[in-house]
A and B are shown apart, each in its own frame.
Chain A
Amino acid sequence: MKLRKLALAASLATLGLSSLITAPAYAQAKEQFFPVLVYRTGAYGPNGTPWANGYIDYFKLVNAKGGMNGVKIIFEECEFGYATDRGVECYERLKGKHGGATLVQPLSTGVTFALTEKAATDKIPLITAGYGRSESQNGAVFAWNFPLLGTYWVGADVAIQHIAKKEGGFDKLKGKKIALVYHDSPYGKEPIPLLQERAKMHGFDVQLLPVAHPGVEQKATWLQIRQNKPDYVLLWGWGVMNSTSLKEAQATGYPREKMYGIWWAGAEPDVKDVGAGAKGYNALALQHGAEPNSKVVKDILAMVHGKSQGTGPKEEVGQVLYMRGVLSSMLAIEGVKKAQERHGRGKIMSGEQVRWGLENLDLDQKALDGLGFAGVMRPVQTSCLDHMGSSWVRVHTWDGAKWNFSSDWYQADEKVIRPMVMLASGRYAEEKKLKPRTPEECKQ
């Protein structure tokens, strides 16, 4: 008797389960699927969470406005805790769902390296807006990578430009000491070649100070800084490492005004805990900073949070990393819309079609204003040879309570970066026995 009851319950349960699994297949409308790789937990969770919230909120905003020319966005999150192997697992899990992934944005340099080849085989574009491998700017070799809006080489280049401006010219950099405190991973090591190149050009000294994951142990690093007294410190940290660095700087008495963080070291979670102690600390802002007054933020507050559809806390809407998520999301969607212009408005785009869209992205100021990004960012235009599209950077400074812009717009020096990109990507192509695309192939 008992057994029969059990069997009955089990079969009922399987029935229920199977109906659950098959349910999405029936709900068929025009839907474009975006996998969302996030890390809301772990050492980097405080930074990963606002990014994910912004990324998803913008999807919801676009859906509330009627989708991409009528095509609804569907998405699914997968948590990977910034661990490369789990990130790859998430990618594999999501890439085939709901008719296939449109594109993927891993928000992790390690995962980007791991996916660079897989994405090309699977024909899924890989957007790494502001991170990833710097040489992937060369779309002729890296056909599926899109380091939109800037790479770490852009960041390092602008940091040196800004320091030179403060000192009164590049010639004043001679003999100066610049320390790079970096996260000891592919992410942190990316800027080193550029800094060394610039050091050769201007005769300053680069000191490399690695910090092991996750970055809470930095006493030795800052002791070295106290001994060497570098003129400037560049901070290439992520997550808990940034606030630790600032606390150590405070403890060793290193002036925060002389510290420059990359954009991943320049958001609220990095300085919030240090508060007034971080006052004067500068960070590069990749296009945007904290933008609580922009139109897109107001739209999100009204149309997403106003309808209790918001993903995170309302107070964080418009903060730096939240905006990074919004921008990443917007670039992805504009890529799809561009692809629709060529392959049919209101249709579902395949990964290959989206790749074309991203490669021919052209957002001028008018288009950006229309999307609500006036004042947030400058125009982007990509091409086959340039998958980055724009390299506008500002510097913003923490005043103890919020981030304020403290410089004008900078643009990375193409004359420095381009040869390095070509050299590194050429080497990659050689190693992988890839044939770079010719201009004719680019047009297809």
Chain B
Amino acid sequence: MSPLLELRDLGVTYATGDGEVRAVRDVNLTLEPGETLGIAGESGSGKSTVALSVLRLLPRTARVSGEILLDGEDVTGMRWGRLRAVRWSSASVVFQGAMHALNPVRKVGEQIAEPIRLHTSLAEPKVAARVAELLEQVDLPPAKARSYPHELSGGQKQRVMIAMALACEPGLILADEPTTALDVVVQAQVLTLLSGLVAERGIGLVMITHDLSVLAATCARIAVMYRGEIVEQGPGSEVMGRPRHEHTRALAAAFPTVGDPVSRFAPATANPLPPEPAREEPDADAPGLLAARDLRVTFRDRDGRAVPAVAGVDLDVRRDEIVALVGQSGSGKTTLARTLLGLQRPTGGSVLYDGSLVPTSSAGLKEYRRQVQLVLQDPASALNPRHTVYEAVAEGPRIHGLPGDERELVLEALESAELRPAETYLARLPHELSGGQRQRVVIAGALALRPSVLVADEPVASLDASVRGEILGLLLRLRRELGLAALVITHDLGLAWNIADRVAVMYRGQLVEVGSVEQVLLEPRHEYTKSLLAALPMGTASAFERGV
């Protein structure tokens, strides 16, 4: 019997304005029915191109070479009619449904029914029954068929995508970043559901993601792609446990195992970290450099009901420490950060800076914001695309009228953000920089004001795995060398383990647990912290050691 999917010497070339780009080279993969295969790699590695080529969904500019055998039949040579018949009935795709893979103006039931109507001759009442059955399989109430995508949460949309993929009972499911942009807890639910359904029905699964830990939890075999080639392939535990290729090691290090002493205060960075300076034992009773006391922010919804976003938070960020604020989306962590920065007026309580109340006058706020700087998640949109690096970094000092030579200040800030040699970056525009370099420019813009606290909202969430470690290393280095305090907002517990001194866990507007990283992540007391840790695809090292 032929394998379910076989890729022989697959190559994909895109014709672009500047000549040809080889996105995929010499890829050989085999998948037997019922097997699970994970393809890992960062953006641009060609992993999504491989997935899309299986159903010939690549843009017109792509040229495919080699063979793609689906149930023994070469997809590359199929006529359009045959190809359309094979699509979804032999192999279906689970896209990143949480984002835009569902049509926003059609009800999800309609979208699930569409391939059923197309590929089977089921009578209309039976189609509706089949949709209800599929929704039940993904643990959604059948009534959700009448919902529009925007009425569903990210996890629910992803479940709809899975239901849709199962609609025509295909032998193969290609899942392209199925859990990216989902919260850890929801991610765990979706992964469990998907692996369960696939195993139950003996469906072959190809899972594509940048997150190795997700693959390790769901796939028997893992292939790692780098620059269009497969650099390593083997059983999941082996690739994760004893990565042979350098790039696999970088990928694995980007998602550290919580509790693993090797990755504590050791983000994956190529530059060496300075040694830990001697730090005074902080006075637990004195307020931190930046402090919140019984802080409350309440929004009103359309019907005038009070919605507490931040409900009585006490938090201290001390000199010379990095605090990670952890919680899932909607927990109020971004509102808390905005309020600390004076961008959102608190409904109650107070924000203290260096022991005194943060001023509310615009002049006072301006001075305060020089001290407390914000770094945003997406460097691509945080930078004005028409401003050069020099202008982007010089803007802050100009607004605040900082003394000294402007060029000196900019160069110094770029140097601190490790953009070296700084002169070569001055005249460049954001689109000429990589994602990691852009985030460094954003950080340099903040450093140019010589702040004492950085508030970073998901600073690495939109960056590639190999760049993540570098940016985290930068934050840690700034703390060690300059004593720069930071409040890092994240949904990623591994990040906290990597660089933070203390962790504050936020749930429904309240801090349910605050303490040192070791204390909170290794011996969680609150149920919510435990559920976050349990949702980590890899579990924690302490769980490994206990043999769970």
- Whether both chains belong to one complex is answered with no
Interface on B for A, CB 8 Å cutoff? none
